[in-house]
Amino acid sequence: MIKKAIYSNWSKPNDNLYAGFNSDEAFANSLHLSVLHSKNWFEEVELITDTKGKKLVDKYKIPFDNVVVCLDDYNHIGNQHWAIGKIVACCMQKSPFMHIDNDVYWFKKPPARLLQADCCFQNYESTEFDWYKHQMHKASETCQIKEIDYTVKTALNCGIIGFNKLDVLPEWMELALRYIDWFDNTDSVTGELSSIIFEQYHIYQLLKKNNYNVSVISDDYITDAVAEEYGYTHLISTVKREEEVEQKVATKLQRDLKKCKVT
């Protein structure tokens, strides 16, 4: 049974946009709002980060129960591989956990079917998009990771990543590092979306191969109706940079801070 929530913040990729937000303040507001609500549902809320991330948490007084500073050790990895910090954070865990993205909010308690499953994710995701297809095609031609079939057309959205059964995590990390090495040394594979392959694409196949019971919030993308039902919000892609959304997050944070006893 998952009773611990974890977050990760590897700062290296954030030279221009702080984790996809317009500023460190906007990022901190989102993270703070997410943590504030996670502390209602989980017994422990932990951050795995680096030196820069720890300074931000201290500056904005985000109420984690525990902060682990270790992601500076991964600064030799290219900054376009932004999801490596998430996988490192997951692999550090010794007991059941749910990793929650910095732009994800649980306004209601996660359902028991997620918290009790072998593993849980946001939703299944089709790979019928160019940002998947280009890498899948190139990997099927030249990548030597034989454990993965790069013609499979399904992935898992990792807005949340939850595990009760942890056995598969070391292999996930190993394959991520091998994929990064291939990506960085292969012509015609460019861009900042390598993470969707070594994070979302690989894990789907690893879980299927190992016969994991996978629970998702929704089989497809989270609709407004599903978000309302589960009290779940994920500010995907560039939505978090919209001025109106940024202001809504800041306003809700201030409102919820007044109501909340968490400090």
State the pLDDT confidence band at 14, using cuts at 50, 70 and 90: low
pLDDT (tens digit per residue) in 83-108: 999 999 999 999 999 999 999 999 99
Two tokens, residue 234: 């994920």
State the pLDDT confidence band at 78, using cuts at 50, 70 and 90: confident
Answer yes or no: is pLDDT of 263 > 50. no
pTM value is 0.95
User: Cβ neighbours of residue 229 under 8 Å, at least 6 residues apart?
Assistant: none
| 97 contacts 7 by C-beta, under 8 angstroms | no
pLDDT, averaged across the chain: 93
Two tokens, residue 53: 């991330």
Residue 150 is part of which domain span? 4-259
Answer yes or no: is pLDDT of 173 > 70. yes
CA distance 263 to 261: 6
Number of folded domains that form the chain:
1
State the pLDDT confidence band at 7, using cuts at 50, 70 and 90: very high
Q: Tokens 């390598």 map to which residue?
A: 194
Q: Tokens 């990997």 map to which residue?
A: 139
- DSSP reduced 3-state for 232: strand
| 185 contacts 78 by C-beta, under 8 angstroms | no
pLDDT (tens digit per residue) in 182-216: 999 988 887 678 999 999 999 999 999 999 999 99
- 23 vs 47, higher pLDDT: 47
The whole-number pLDDT of residue 42 equals: 98
Residue 233, H or E segment: strand 232-234
CATH code of the domain in which 18 resides: 3.90.550
pLDDT (tens digit per residue) in 116-161: 999 999 999 999 988 899 999 999 999 999 999 999 999 999 999 9
- 258 vs 122, higher pLDDT: 122
